[in-house]
Amino acid sequence: MPTRTPLVAGNWKMNTDRAGAIALARAVVEGSEKHTPRVEVALYPPFVYLDAVGATLRESIPATKVTLGAQDVYHEKNGAFTGEISAAMLRDIGATSVLTGHSERRHVLHESDELIAKKTRAALDAGGGLRCILCIGETLDQRQAGQTDAVNERQLRSALTGLPTPLLAQLVIAYEPVWAIGTGKTATPADAQAAHHFIRALLNDLFGSSVAAATRILYGGSVKPDNARDLFSQPDIDGGLIGGASLNPADFVAIVAAADR
Ligand code: PEP
Does the beta carbon of 177 sit less than 6 angstroms from any atom of ligand 1? no
Rounded-to-integer distance, Cα 239 and Cα 253, Å:
13
Distance of CA 87 from the midpoint of ligand 1 (Å):
23
Q: What are phi and psi of 241, to 5 degrees?
A: -105, 120
Q: What is the pLDDT along the chain (261 residues), one digit of tens a residue?
A: 568 999 999 999 999 999 999 999 999 999 999 999 999 999 999 999 999 999 999 999 999 999 999 999 999 999 999 999 999 999 999 999 999 999 999 999 999 999 999 999 999 999 999 999 999 999 999 999 999 999 999 999 999 999 999 999 999 999 999 999 989 999 999 999 999 999 999 999 999 999 999 999 999 999 999 999 999 999 999 999 999 999 999 999 999 999 998
Q: Which amino acid is at 213?
A: A
Q: Looking at residue 166, what is its pLDDT?
A: 95
Integer Rg of the chain from CA: 17
Cα 231 versus chain centre, distance: 16
Ligand 1: atom nearest CA of 181 is 10
Q: Looking at residue 261, what is its pLDDT?
A: 81
Q: Looking at residue 2, what is its pLDDT?
A: 60
176 among known catalytic residues: yes
Rounded-to-integer distance, Cα 223 and Cα 164, Å:
32
Does the beta carbon of 243 sit less than 6 angstroms from any atom of ligand 1? yes
* Helix (H) or strand (E) run with residue 99 in it: strand 97-100
Q: For atom 2 of ligand 1, which residue has the closest CA?
A: 243
Q: For atom 8 of ligand 1, which residue has the closest CA?
A: 243
Q: Where does residue 128 rank: exposed (0-12), middle (13-18), buried (19+ CB within 10 A)?
A: exposed
Rounded-to-integer distance, Cα 199 and Cα 212, Å:
9
